[in-house]
A = this chain, B = another copy of it.
Amino acid sequence: MIINELKFNDQGLIPAIIQDEENNQVLMLAYMNRESIQMTLQTKKCTYFSRSRQKLWLKGETSGHFQQVKSVSYDCDSDTLLILVRQIGVACHTGERSCFYRQIPLEEG
């Protein structure tokens, strides 16, 4: 099981980058624990661990904006996941397709 090779942080979580498989847009970053990874693999729908609510969170359960899993990769350090999804509706709770809809001007540096 590759899951056993993953490195979780001291809260038992690993960050997951969610990318739209259709156009490669980065949609969001969320956190998974071991159980949510297993749920995600089994159901082919992204399930996260909500840090604010401290429980599993099936993305789309209330909004209908499910994320259908197409592939799951992990990085060289085994401490980050990259998940390609087919996004139903939008990823962000604000109604934007991606959570990354605001820019920091390079001139701020």
Contacts and interface: CB of A to CB of B under 8 A. Distances in A.
Dominant secondary structure at the A interface: mixed
Interface string A88-109: 0000111010011111111111
Interface residues of A, number: 45
How many copies of the shown chain assemble into the complex? 2
A69 interface: yes
Contacts of A67: none
Nearest to A76: B99
Contacts of A39: 109
Contacts of A75: 28-29, 99-100, 102
Counting chain B CB atoms within 10 Å of each CB, the highest count among A40, A42, A43, A100 belongs to: A100
Contacts of A40: 109
Those 3 A-B pairs whose CB atoms lie nearest each other, nearest first: A41-B109, A24-B24, A42-B109
Interface of A: 1-3, 15, 17, 19, 23-26, 28-29, 38-44, 69, 71-77, 80-82, 92-94, 96, 99-109
